Amino acid sequence: VSVSAVIPAERPRIEFDTERRTPASQLRAMLESEELSFLMEAHDGLSARIAEVEGFEAIWASGFSMSTALGVRDSDEASWSQLLNVVECMRGAAEIPILVDGDAGYGNFNTARRFALKAERIGVGGVCFEDKLYPKMNSFVGDDHCLADVKKFCGKLSACKEGQENADFCVIARTEALIAGHGLDEALRRADAYREAGADAIFIHSRKRSAEEIEMFAREWGGRLPLVIAPTTYASTTPAETFRRSGISSVIWANQSMRAAVAAMRRVCRAIRSTESVIHADVELASLEEVFQLLEYDELKEAERRFAAV
Ligand code: SPV
Ligand code: MG
């Protein structure tokens, strides 16, 4: 069976929302824009709110970070409904569009499209699936990253595109070809098959210490679809300007808020435990006032005045 055999000849026509107001249309506009944009990782309602307040254009609902916050490993240990419950909290806490990490789609084309549709109904802007096998393992762990069959993965993407309700909803295809050590040609071959299957953007992942292979990929890709990257291992050696020059559409800061929380919680717990006091820890803490402000306690006071008075 050729790749094209699993792709419907006539895909539903996508009508673009010219006002660009839904989360999906905002995410689509961001991906398709010439400007480099940044998605900040979030793993719960609070981190989503903070990403928005700090000015990010969009949120990456990271499987790694949400799993970590749930106390489990990034190997499909959390169920997809658990993860979407977390995403629903984010959706309630922030208005900027959310791109949800859908891992490898939790099984076959059917579980992937059910996940995508449920995510769309929660009100996220798009989902991202990677071409690995279920259960997947985090891309930075070990060397045992088996890739999915290209045709099967294309079937997943096409099923999601055909099942979406809002024309602007984005399905992003992530190839792990470079992570799995297959090289540039295989990454390009896969990305192009995913484009033909209906993907709206390609997430090209790398875990090298430099951006060289990403730059090479971008050059060869030539803008066939918007490119998304998560420069976790190479961001410190690469200024954002390099991504701009390479024609990258969007950069995902995939896990920094979660790792900041881990570091801060450990420091504070250690200080309080060892000194039997909060005197030393207190300087690092957000004030209660800051927390109340972030979650708009004032609005509740005002609403009480308007609606609860009898
Ligand atoms: C995630 O944030 O869950 C990702 C990106 O998938 S990575 O951890 O780099 O694989
Ligand atoms: Mg992930």
Nearest to 252 by CA among 39, 57, 37, 102: 39
DSSP label at residue 175:
E
Bridge partners, residue 260, by sequence: none
Tell me if 233 CB under 6 Å of ligand 1. Answer: no
The answer to whether residue 74 is catalytic is yes
At 204 the pLDDT is 98
Write down the residue that tokens 């208005």 correspond to: 95
- What whole-number distance in Å separates Cα of residue 223 and Cα of residue 246? 10
The 3-state DSSP class for residue 215 equals helix
Residues 87, 124: contact at Cβ < 8 Å?
A: yes
At 83 the pLDDT is 98
Tell me if 37 CB under 6 Å of ligand 1. Answer: no
The 3-state DSSP class for residue 96 equals coil
Instruction: State which ligand 1 atom lies nearest to the alpha carbon of 174.
Output: 6
Residues 109, 155: contact at Cβ < 8 Å?
A: yes
Angle between helices 80-93 and 109-122 (to 10 degrees): 20
- Tell me the CB-side half-sphere exposure of residue 305, using CA atoms within 13 A: 6
Residues 35, 247: contact at Cβ < 8 Å?
A: no
At 283 the pLDDT is 76
Tell me if 232 CB under 6 Å of ligand 1. Answer: yes
At 17 the pLDDT is 45
Nearest to 82 by CA among 70, 64, 98, 95: 70
- Catalytic residue of the set 74, 76, 103, 131: 74
Nearest to 85 by CA among 67, 71, 73, 103: 67
- What whole-number distance in Å separates Cα of residue 262 and Cα of residue 242? 30
- What whole-number distance in Å separates Cα of residue 46 and Cα of residue 257? 10
Q: How far is the CA of 269 from the centre of ligand 2 (A)?
A: 28
Residues 279, 66: contact at Cβ < 8 Å?
A: no
Tell me if 64 CB under 6 Å of ligand 1. Answer: yes
Q: What is the largest CA-CA distance in the chain?
A: 70
Q: pLDDT (tens digit, 0 to 9) for every residue of the chain, 310 residues total? A: 344 444 444 544 445 445 558 999 999 999 999 999 999 999 999 999 999 999 999 999 999 999 999 999 999 999 999 999 999 999 999 999 999 999 999 999 999 999 999 999 999 999 999 999 999 999 999 988 899 999 999 999 999 999 999 999 999 999 999 999 999 999 999 999 999 999 999 999 999 999 999 999 999 999 999 999 999 999 999 999 999 999 999 999 999 999 999 999 999 999 999 999 998 887 789 999 999 999 999 999 999 999 998 6
Cβ count near 252 (within 10 Å): 24
Query: Which ligand is closest to the CA of 138, given by its number?
Result: 1
At 10 the pLDDT is 56
